[in-house]
Amino acid sequence: MSDFSKYFLMINEDDPEGTEKTVIAYTLLKTQGTDAGKIDWDTATMKAKIPSEHGNLNHVCRVYDAKGHSIYIKQAGLETRISKDMTASLDRNRQESEILELEEKMAPGMVPHIYFFDTVMCASGMEDCSDFEVMRDAMLEHKTFPRFAEDISTFMARTLLLSSDVVMDHKEKKELTRRFITPDLCDITEKLVLMEPYLGSSRNNVFPPNREFVEKELYRDDALHLEVSKLKFNFMTNAQALLHGDLHTGSVFIKPDATKIFDCEFGTFAPMGYDIGNVVANMIFAYDNGLSADDDVFCSWCLDAVEKTIDLFISKFSTLYDEAVTEPMAKVPGFKEYYIDSILRDTAGYAGTELHRRTVGMANVVDVTSIKDERKRLLAERINILAGKDYILHQGRFKTGKDFVDAVLNAREAAVKTL
């Protein structure tokens, strides 16, 4: 029997048999006296398997039995899975679990349920969402999800507004801000997203045929660098609301009738537009992939989802604002409109930085890298670069969903001319 009274990495991809025994023992131990403890495990048929694909940071294992019971165990390692040179605090598992618990209260049914989290083993047990698909994987097959804009706009409007100073007790929010400060993970965002794609870092992954274009458009544009520097310092200093912090389509479980958001280990208090902009950018990556396959129906759905997500977010946020606001100065006539306008500005800016970092930065996105035809990949990357620049350089222009979509169509037209 393993000793779980002190930390060790129990989920080891190089030792699946040892992992299975250890994780099953751990699951049985930790699910006693919790919600998960109500599961009547069939211990004789219990198995623990590491999924073939999971995230860049943590280690996960699915535990299940022949009766259909299941749970996911997620554990933080001393190193990130994407790179042994990148470290992150083991406390991130506790933080992610607590954020998911808060989000479940603010947006019921829209995140996996947390059964327990363990600050010694830096591990948690969470709801098994195997009956869902990871949205990015599904969209690589050009599947569409008509409910997505409705669901994601609800999730963002509720979790962002209800964790902000216009609604939350200021002392409670400041305590949560302190509790969810993660210098290691914020440092990753500040460098990989908000600096390196513009300064020509050696860690960048630039598609060689596109290098000259990248150098001209991203590395040597002083006006762009100035606006990105503002966005970086806004992210570092504006603790506006509790973010997911990495809200891309690989962090969304989806099926036709439901959506769940997961993997919020980058969660922190920062500008709301960072989350919203990430959603916009990742739908554009899906559009890129559809464009490379000449799938007009899928491309239309991607852009329609962008437009609806923005417009529904504005509408839902505005309605909820009127219902939930508690801060007296936030009720001053005109302040709500100013507040929403500032969120949309940030949304445009951070949509641009996400488009750029996933195209030329350390962590490229498979929607684009899987495009085999060189010319079509160049087109996709240049759409991302040019649309991203438009968002960043003209943040004040983006007031509606159509504005965000028009930037993509304009970038496509301009990108074609560069080939």
- Tens digit of each residue's pLDDT, the chain (419 residues): 589 999 999 998 889 999 999 999 999 998 876 666 677 899 999 999 998 765 567 899 999 999 999 999 999 988 765 556 656 678 888 889 999 999 999 999 999 999 999 999 999 999 999 999 999 999 999 999 999 999 999 999 999 999 999 999 999 999 999 999 888 889 999 999 999 999 999 999 999 999 999 999 999 999 999 999 999 999 999 999 999 999 999 999 999 999 999 999 899 999 999 999 999 999 999 999 999 999 999 999 999 999 999 999 999 999 999 999 999 999 999 999 999 999 999 999 999 999 999 999 999 999 999 999 999 999 999 999 999 999 999 999 999 999 999 999 999 999 999 99
Residue 325 lies in a domain: yes
CA distances for 415 relative to 74, 82, 228, 264, 383, angstroms: 42, 31, 22, 34, 6
Residue 157 lies in a domain: yes
Q: Report the number of distinct structural domains present in the chain.
A: 2
Q: Say whether both 380 and 267 belong to one domain.
A: yes
> What is the Cα–Cα distance from 104 to 394, expressed in whole angstroms?
35
The CATH number for 95's domain is 3.30.200.20
> Cβ distance 81 to 57 under 8 Å?
yes
Q: Say whether both 141 and 240 belong to one domain.
A: yes
The CATH number for 382's domain is 3.90.1200.10
> Nearest 5 degrees, angle CA 192-CA 83-CA 141?
75
- Enclosing domain of residue 318: 133-418
φ/ψ of residue 218, rounded to 5: -110, -40
Task: Specify which residues 125 forms β-bridges with.
Answer: 73, 116
Burial 336-356 (b: 16+ CB within 10 A, else e): beebbebbbbbbbbbbbbbbb
CA dihedral 27, 29, 32, 38 (to 10 degrees): 30
Q: Is the dihedral of CA 313, 353, 235, 231 positive or negative?
A: negative
Q: What is the CA 419 to chain-centroid distance, rounded?
A: 32
> What is the Cα–Cα distance from 323 to 326, expressed in whole angstroms?
9
